[in-house]
Structure 1
Amino acid sequence: MAREKGTKETAKKNQTGDDPPKGGFSSQKKSPKVCGTNYPLSIAFIVVNEFCERFSYYGMKAVLTLYFLNFLHWDENLSTTIYHAFSGLCYFTPVIGALIADTWLGKFKTIIYLSIVYVIGHVIKSVGAIPTVGNQVVHVILSMLGLALIALGTGGIKPCVAAFGGDQFEEEHAQERSKFFSVFYLAINAGSLISTFVTPVLRGDVKCFGGDCYALAFGVPAALMVIALVVFIAGSGMYKKTPPRGNILLEVCQCIAFAITNRLKNHSKQIPKREHWLDWASEKYSKQLINEIKMVTRVLFLFIPLPMFWALFDQQGSRWTLQATKMNADFGGIVFQPDQMQFLNPLLILIFIPIFDLGVYPLINMCRFNFTPIRKMATGMILAGLAFAAAAIVDIKINETTMPSPVPKESFIQVLNLANDSIHVKIQGQDLFHQPIGAFQDPAEYSKLMLNGAQQNLGFELQSQGSVSTFYHTVQEKSVYSLIVYKSEGNLSSHLIADMETKPAKGLMAVRFINALDQDVNVTIGREQIISVNKNYSVSDYTTLERGKYNVQCKTEAKEVTLDLGLLDFGASYTIVINNTSANTIGAWKTEDIMANNVHIAWQLPQYLLISAGEVMFSITGLAFSYSQAPVSMKSVLQAGWLLTVAFGNVIVLIVAQAAPLEQWAEFVLFACLLFAVCIIFSVMGYFYISVDPEDLTEKEEEKEMPSNGNVISLVPQKTKL
């Protein structure tokens, strides 16, 4: 309904919710209470709904980056870009949800209708992950359409659910309402905890259509969203349903525009100065509306630095997950999926919330330190910055196992001696190998080979037992090679083969085979993958497989044997030489060309501890703070403003990642430094922020009359530093 201006009756209606009901919903209805408490029973349905919805959202999102990498075959940068674009869209759409709720349908109907859109998006996303449904283009179209509908659904209901839960409490039960937000956040993280642990298992451990089962990993969250919708509807009869109050946001924008134009129009006139720029709208708009807008704009101004926190926080699902793919995830026989590490955040939140509420905060109060919401949020920023500093240290350690990248006019080379005797290797114009290389001796580190140009034909001198042979091979710059030395008809010979230049992606390992036999061989490895390798030192292509212990079937024309390759570890590249042993049997010699991931994934725990503690202090405090500082008519709008900070945080990630392509550790340090700088700005802004109680403001409004000259008498709120 249209909002009335300038009357005491309207002010009372807006505060108490006694507007005439729309759509048959009475705002006066009181929900039954949980026995012996002031908690409405209806919040149980809201909390369960939130648990299921968050399971749905975070479960889908946990596997999203690897879905882009493995199923749609996008590279890491594109996968990160789309991931954060989707995350940002999920937090831009709350504005749409708030508008629909406040101006048209009300919170209850908005939650129901947009939840239906949400379910449809999940179903489309799941169908798009079935390999047999269409081609690559169809998969991309269905995936993007599904993600768009999910973003509209989850974002649209996001500002409504929290505010709808707060609406269930009577105004005199503010303490219970404050505790509700902690319970609400517990439900969010309980759903996130279970889903981020379960859906990676459904993806990686359950196989369908010959690979990871992304259709199931997306299908289960879809089913949970259906349950969320059913549970929410089941509590319909108990809810206190506040009807929509008209197009508040449009009225706010019109009021602001009028204040600005009126101020500019009268800039040169001798009119008494007004204390606030919004007071220039007093000729047309009510004093109550102006003061409510003052409250909202002051809070939104305080929100300006906050996106930087979310820019760091949301990288758990992108950059931190990609970091986990480069680490050793073996916990004594139990192997974690890289995307499974995200479950640490909700788990730690569930642990930290009672610790902070029952231990840390009371202890700080006992020390007579005024730990205000602003100070809590600033502390949360500092902890998040430290988390990224820890992530940078981990990334530096990870880089020690990666293959160095050759620069122009440079290549790397190693020697695999498959002859029976030690050899001396000299390369034209360069002295790289000072010691003789033993037969079947594991090569040392790659040696740096300098070239005169983009490519060069180099002479390789091989010496063994007094005989010297020289072979010429063409070497390309910025490449990695293995020189295979062997005996053919009693004489030394050689091949120069290209090696893998970077670590296998996604935590997989890579293996290739050299056939040193005098007959062709077929090697069966993994899920019945058959690799054919011709005789006389031919080399197969690389095959990427999951980490594990492998026994391969090696079949020649004459015999078939089983070869034990042992453990092929995370992120390593192996060359397996199939040869005849001294006992005239077929054997295998394994070399590790690229080192396995030797930094354990448990080293991510400190960064998760820090960012989770930061989230408790920043996010829960900010959620309750934005609700407490909102006029009753604009709570959903201000909640949407809070959520917009998350959206802009994801935009910051896109800008930094695209505008400043840095090594990953350097990017982590950059984000940490940016957050520390923003924390200082936010702390200064918070020092000058004055807390306002919306109820006190309305009561004071009723006692004051608008002066006849149209000037506003300022209301001085309780000056409490936050």
Structure 2
Amino acid sequence: MNAFQKNKSKETLFTFIPAGDDPPRGDFSSRKKSPKLCGTNYPLSIAFIVVNEFCERFSYYGMKAVLTLYFLNFLHWDENLSTTMYHAFSGLCYFTPVLGALIADTWLGKFKTIIYLSIVYVIGHVIKSVGAIPTVGNQVIHVVLSMLGLALIAFGTGGIKPCVAAFGGDQFEEEHAKERSKFFSVFYLAINAGSLISTFVTPVLRGDVKCFGGDCYALAFGVPAALMVIALVVFIAGSGMYKKTPPRGNILLEVCQCIAFAIRNRLKNRSKQIPKREHWLDWASEKYSKQLINEIKMVTRVLFLFIPLPMFWALFDQQGSRWTLQATRMNADFGGIVFQPDQMQFVNPLLILIFIPIFDFGLYPLINMCRFNFTPIRKMATGMILAGLAFAAAAIVEVKVNETTMPLPVPKESFIQVVNLANDSIQVKIQGQDLFQQPIGAFQDPAEYSKLMLNGAQQNFVFDLQSPGSVSTFYHTVQEKSVYSLIVYKSEGNLSSHLIADMETKPAKGLSAVRFINALDQDVNVTIGKEQIISVNKNYGVSDYTTLERGKYNVQCKAEAKEFTLSLGLLDFGASYTIVITNTSSNTIEARKIEDILANDVHIAWQLPQYVLISAGEVMFSITGLAFSYSQAPVSMKSVLQAGWLLTVAFGNVIVLIVAQAAPLEQWAEFVLFACLLFAVCIIFSIMGYYYISVDPEDLTEEEEKKEMPSNGNVISLAPQKTKL
């Protein structure tokens, strides 16, 4: 398998090269040969290209790793809109390579295209970083700057995508094909190294470094911007050593023009008495050569096989959106080392680097030894199945994660719990409701929330409270779609109550939330976190919620002239706590902790199986698909198939944003839906692949094509090169 075949879906190692996949040799012969790396046939110029690619990939994947959480926590969009915008950006990054190829091959050439679009790329990063500074303008300004920056980044990264690798290949002499092949392997390693390091580092810059009073998104975007500047500087530094080929026209444009002419000509002559032609593309024969038409026929057969492929990418690219959001609701503590939820994305490039040699030198040879014909179509279908299983695993994890979340009340519905701070057991009855049948013990952790039904948007309820020797009645107003705690306590020997609003959803970003109830008869000041002082009024006053990083906390509580240290214990990931400050029998005070919303008890390591499955699926699907499509096209049409391959990634992202907006489902159900869709598409793809006849385009002569091409456009009798896949 050559280096062209070892690429992954996120990158292409091909340019849209017209009329042959190598530049004209004459373009090189008249130029001075570039200097070589010590004692080798490798041009020194490729070192600049490899470093450029590493920095550019660090820049792209580093920015993208924190993008979903930026939408969610900085711009305050909901999960569906955040997912939609993430995949809209990803899709745009895979539509723009077509524009980059047109610019490079018809106007500027690869070198100038890389330079100019890299400048656009840098400007986009700078705008994106500035838009992440909280003090720059209002929310509208932040959104405008973010969208403008992302649009420029998409045009920059997509525009140079089809140029950089091929420009590196251009640096080698024709007699050094072996070295050129190894260069592409090194190039691919640079891609994955940049992706691996950046997806681990930038979440740390976002979450562990604090600026402007919160997560430092400006730094998390600023470092990738600096790496892109370095990429541009390094690339320009090697300018004097590069071999630069002039633009020669774009075969992709010619293919589109040929297809458009065939369609127009067919429609124009539909009513005329003209002999039927064997294939609809034959209607272009008045203007285009027979060879070009036959080559396009071969390509369209493969492009037809590409139709089901976007569904794989619809699942694959959700690692940076839905799976990252899932990780925010999980326990990320690895024995004292806490992972950021967006850091889990680094697992994919790490596994890819591990799986490629295992598959190439272990799994595939073992399968061949078993005499099983593991064809490219079967490998790709297996990759689809593995990706579907990954989403089935993600759905199971999601169900377990949801066990610790608060149910969302619907209209005419609220949730309520009772916190008994009296010294005796109490009985609570709500008129018109069948709740709290059992007595509630003193300072007993409340049971789970109970559902309270309303007859409108709000309703006044009568609460009857009873304890030994005391009966009281209170009226409280309840709003629909809200969550409450009924605080019951003794006041002058009688029962009394407050109805307080609780946190309705888990704290964002895996933080914990805490509030204080002061059961003392004097005001208190509580110092928590980084010198944060919370004032709580006496006689069961309630503070607002404060969000904190997960950890064990001791707080200083000052009541009048006395100061006490209170241990809160562990405030865990995603939990919401009520801390009751009360007296003890020994004239001191203590903190009693109530967990209102359960902590994230599903460990983030449970995401590893889904990452393993989808990474194995990527190796089988993506690398095999690239090699297969490259092998099935004539030399002059390989660029067209690479354009088609990139567009399958773009359309896959379009599928996700459509589902996210058009069919809002519970997250586990959405995962199951995507898995089922991919399994169904896998069956369709397998059937299409069964009837696909593989050919070796290099062995086809123009005369053979004329003889062997039937009316349906399929090559059917060119053995021994053809096999059924």
TM-score, normalised with respect to structure 1: 0.90
Contact 1:512 1:575 in 2 (8 A): yes
2:468 maps to which residue? Answer: 465
Moved more, 22-31 or 663-672: 22-31
Contact 1:17 1:27 in 2 (8 A): no
User: Taking structure 1 as reference, are residues 452 and 660 closer, same or farther at Cα in structure 2, changes over 3 Å only?
Assistant: same
Deviation of 1:272 after TM superposition, in Å, equals 5.3
Mapped partners of 1:8, 1:286: distance in 2: 35
Point out where structure 2 has 5 or more consecutive residues left out of the alignment.
14-18
1:226 maps to which residue? Answer: 229
Mapped partners of 1:661, 1:8: distance in 2: 27
Contact 1:328 1:599 in 2 (8 A): yes
User: Taking structure 1 as reference, are residues 5 and 512 closer, same or farther at Cα in structure 2, changes over 3 Å only?
Assistant: closer
Mapped partners of 1:708, 1:657: distance in 2: 42
User: Taking structure 1 as reference, are residues 175 and 533 closer, same or farther at Cα in structure 2, changes over 3 Å only?
Assistant: same
Contact 1:98 1:636 in 2 (8 A): no
Helix, strand or coil at the partner of 2:12: helix
Helix, strand or coil at the partner of 2:416: strand
Mapped partners of 1:710, 1:368: distance in 2: 32
Mapped partners of 1:112, 1:496: distance in 2: 64
User: Taking structure 1 as reference, are residues 134 and 464 closer, same or farther at Cα in structure 2, changes over 3 Å only?
Assistant: same
Deviation of 1:681 after TM superposition, in Å, equals 1.6
Helix, strand or coil at the partner of 1:609: helix
Contact 1:460 1:472 in 2 (8 A): yes
Mapped partners of 1:459, 1:429: distance in 2: 9
Moved more, 704-713 or 472-481: 704-713
Mapped partners of 2:566, 2:364: distance in 1: 61
1:425 to 424, 428, 431: 428
Moved more, 76-85 or 693-702: 693-702
Contact 1:103 1:248 in 2 (8 A): no
Point out where structure 1 has 5 or more consecutive residues left out of the alignment.
none
Moved more, 96-105 or 334-343: 96-105
- Is 1:338 the counterpart of 2:341? The answer is yes
Deviation of 1:580 after TM superposition, in Å, equals 1.7
Contact 1:4 1:10 in 2 (8 A): no
Mapped partners of 2:522, 2:573: distance in 1: 32
Moved more, 162-171 or 426-435: 162-171
- Is 1:9 the counterpart of 2:34? The answer is no
Contact 2:23 2:170 in 1 (8 A): no
Contact 1:27 1:240 in 2 (8 A): no
1:477-528 deviations in whole A, cap 9, x for unaligned?
A: 3332211111111221111112122222221221111111112222222233
Helix, strand or coil at the partner of 1:473: strand
Contact 1:199 1:217 in 2 (8 A): yes
1:77-125 deviations in whole A, cap 9, x for unaligned?
A: 2211211111111111111011112212222332222122112211221
Contact 2:6 2:188 in 1 (8 A): no
User: Taking structure 1 as reference, are residues 29 and 323 closer, same or farther at Cα in structure 2, changes over 3 Å only?
Assistant: farther
User: Taking structure 1 as reference, are residues 575 and 378 closer, same or farther at Cα in structure 2, changes over 3 Å only?
Assistant: same
Mapped partners of 1:525, 1:272: distance in 2: 87
User: Taking structure 1 as reference, are residues 482 and 285 closer, same or farther at Cα in structure 2, changes over 3 Å only?
Assistant: same
Mapped partners of 2:420, 2:212: distance in 1: 42
1:325 to 320, 324, 328: 328
1:184 maps to which residue? Answer: 187
Aligned length: 717
1:613-642 deviations in whole A, cap 9, x for unaligned?
A: 111111122233333444444444432321
Mapped partners of 1:42, 1:313: distance in 2: 34
Deviation of 1:538 after TM superposition, in Å, equals 1.4
User: Taking structure 1 as reference, are residues 489 and 706 closer, same or farther at Cα in structure 2, changes over 3 Å only?
Assistant: closer
User: Taking structure 1 as reference, are residues 52 and 422 closer, same or farther at Cα in structure 2, changes over 3 Å only?
Assistant: same
Mapped partners of 2:361, 2:678: distance in 1: 28
Deviation of 1:560 after TM superposition, in Å, equals 2.4
Deviation of 1:188 after TM superposition, in Å, equals 2.0
Moved more, 454-463 or 476-485: 454-463
Moved more, 337-346 or 518-527: 518-527
Mapped partners of 1:521, 1:171: distance in 2: 81
Deviation of 1:333 after TM superposition, in Å, equals 0.8
1:599 maps to which residue? Answer: 602
Deviation of 1:703 after TM superposition, in Å, equals 12
TM-score, normalised with respect to structure 2: 0.89
Mapped partners of 1:89, 1:302: distance in 2: 23
Deviation of 1:171 after TM superposition, in Å, equals 7.5
1:370-392 deviations in whole A, cap 9, x for unaligned?
A: 32222222211111111000000
Contact 1:18 1:28 in 2 (8 A): no
User: Taking structure 1 as reference, are residues 692 and 428 closer, same or farther at Cα in structure 2, changes over 3 Å only?
Assistant: same
Deviation of 1:595 after TM superposition, in Å, equals 0.5
1:260-306 deviations in whole A, cap 9, x for unaligned?
A: 23334455666555432212222221122222322332222222111
Deviation of 1:62 after TM superposition, in Å, equals 0.5
Deviation of 1:241 after TM superposition, in Å, equals 4.3
Contact 2:330 2:602 in 1 (8 A): yes
User: Taking structure 1 as reference, are residues 353 and 705 closer, same or farther at Cα in structure 2, changes over 3 Å only?
Assistant: closer
Mapped partners of 1:402, 1:7: distance in 2: 35
Q: Once superposed, what is the RMSD of the aligned Cα atoms? A: 5.1
Deviation of 1:713 after TM superposition, in Å, equals 14
User: Taking structure 1 as reference, are residues 47 and 361 closer, same or farther at Cα in structure 2, changes over 3 Å only?
Assistant: farther
Contact 2:291 2:702 in 1 (8 A): no
User: Taking structure 1 as reference, are residues 7 and 528 closer, same or farther at Cα in structure 2, changes over 3 Å only?
Assistant: closer
1:243 maps to which residue? Answer: 246
Mapped partners of 1:291, 1:33: distance in 2: 41
1:331-388 deviations in whole A, cap 9, x for unaligned?
A: 1111100101111111111111111111111222222223222222221111111100
Contact 2:631 2:696 in 1 (8 A): yes
Contact 1:461 1:471 in 2 (8 A): yes
User: Taking structure 1 as reference, are residues 411 and 4 closer, same or farther at Cα in structure 2, changes over 3 Å only?
Assistant: closer
User: Taking structure 1 as reference, are residues 341 and 52 closer, same or farther at Cα in structure 2, changes over 3 Å only?
Assistant: same
Contact 1:422 1:437 in 2 (8 A): yes
Helix, strand or coil at the partner of 1:8: coil
User: Taking structure 1 as reference, are residues 540 and 10 closer, same or farther at Cα in structure 2, changes over 3 Å only?
Assistant: closer
1:680 maps to which residue? Answer: 683
Moved more, 249-258 or 324-333: 249-258
User: Taking structure 1 as reference, are residues 336 and 656 closer, same or farther at Cα in structure 2, changes over 3 Å only?
Assistant: same
Helix, strand or coil at the partner of 2:701: helix
Contact 1:455 1:474 in 2 (8 A): yes
User: Taking structure 1 as reference, are residues 635 and 160 closer, same or farther at Cα in structure 2, changes over 3 Å only?
Assistant: farther
- Is 1:115 the counterpart of 2:101? The answer is no
Contact 2:21 2:635 in 1 (8 A): no
Helix, strand or coil at the partner of 1:704: helix
Contact 1:283 1:710 in 2 (8 A): no
User: Taking structure 1 as reference, are residues 178 and 652 closer, same or farther at Cα in structure 2, changes over 3 Å only?
Assistant: farther
Mapped partners of 1:334, 1:376: distance in 2: 38
Deviation of 1:36 after TM superposition, in Å, equals 9.2
Deviation of 1:429 after TM superposition, in Å, equals 4.3
Deviation of 1:424 after TM superposition, in Å, equals 2.4
Helix, strand or coil at the partner of 1:475: strand
Mapped partners of 1:629, 1:239: distance in 2: 31
1:469-508 to structure 2, matched below 5 A, reads: 469-508=472-511
User: Taking structure 1 as reference, are residues 717 and 263 closer, same or farther at Cα in structure 2, changes over 3 Å only?
Assistant: farther
User: Taking structure 1 as reference, are residues 669 and 18 closer, same or farther at Cα in structure 2, changes over 3 Å only?
Assistant: closer
Contact 2:5 2:627 in 1 (8 A): no
Contact 2:278 2:712 in 1 (8 A): no
User: Taking structure 1 as reference, are residues 282 and 253 closer, same or farther at Cα in structure 2, changes over 3 Å only?
Assistant: same
Deviation of 1:682 after TM superposition, in Å, equals 1.7
2:171 maps to which residue? Answer: 168
Contact 1:21 1:27 in 2 (8 A): no
User: Taking structure 1 as reference, are residues 640 and 707 closer, same or farther at Cα in structure 2, changes over 3 Å only?
Assistant: closer
Contact 2:105 2:249 in 1 (8 A): yes
Deviation of 1:454 after TM superposition, in Å, equals 4.1
Deviation of 1:45 after TM superposition, in Å, equals 4.2
Contact 1:6 1:286 in 2 (8 A): no
Deviation of 1:433 after TM superposition, in Å, equals 2.8
Moved more, 148-157 or 419-428: 419-428
Mapped partners of 2:304, 2:714: distance in 1: 25
Mapped partners of 1:539, 1:415: distance in 2: 15
Identity of aligned residues (%): 92
User: Taking structure 1 as reference, are residues 86 and 298 closer, same or farther at Cα in structure 2, changes over 3 Å only?
Assistant: same
Contact 2:409 2:482 in 1 (8 A): yes
Contact 1:26 1:241 in 2 (8 A): no
Deviation of 1:308 after TM superposition, in Å, equals 0.8
Mapped partners of 2:610, 2:128: distance in 1: 31
Contact 1:411 1:480 in 2 (8 A): yes
